Amino acid sequence: MNITQKLNAINEEAEAVKAEIDGISGQIENRQTLIYDNLTEQSSIKAENQKFITMLEQLEIRKSQLNSRIITGKSDETAQRQVIASITSQLKECDVNISSINDSIAEANANVTSIKG
């Protein structure tokens, strides 16, 4: 084998290695693209999850506010019931007093009538 043949054999081997390197480089680029796509998708999913977490937190805050309003309403209702009960009791006392006064007036009228008569 002469030098030219050896050189040609080395060049052919170098071309084969270069082709193999190019193929592997292409595979690396494809896999890097897949990795970047996966990372982008993962970031999108995390962002969407965070959005839903925030929405849940806002709903919990709103739920707490509504519960607070319900408790306040019930407390106000209880206070109003107590006021109504107190006023009703006072009204009953007034009715008793009015009845007593009416009885006194009727008795006085009866006395006046008996004195006149």
Q: Which two tokens stand for residue 10?
A: 């080395």
State the Cα–Cα distance between residues 62 and 71, nearest whole angstrom: 14
Instruction: Please write down the HEC assignment for all residues of the chain.
Output: CCHHHHHHHHHHHHHHHHHHHHHHHHHHHHHHHHHHHHHHHHHHHHHHHHHHHHHHHHHHHHHHHHHHHHHHHHHHHHHHHHHHHHHHHHHHHHHHHHHHHHHHHHHHHHHHHHHHC
Q: List per-residue pLDDT tens for the chain, 117 residues long.
A: 688 888 998 999 999 999 999 999 999 999 999 999 999 999 999 999 999 999 999 999 999 999 999 999 888 888 899 999 999 999 999 999 999 999 999 998 988 888 886
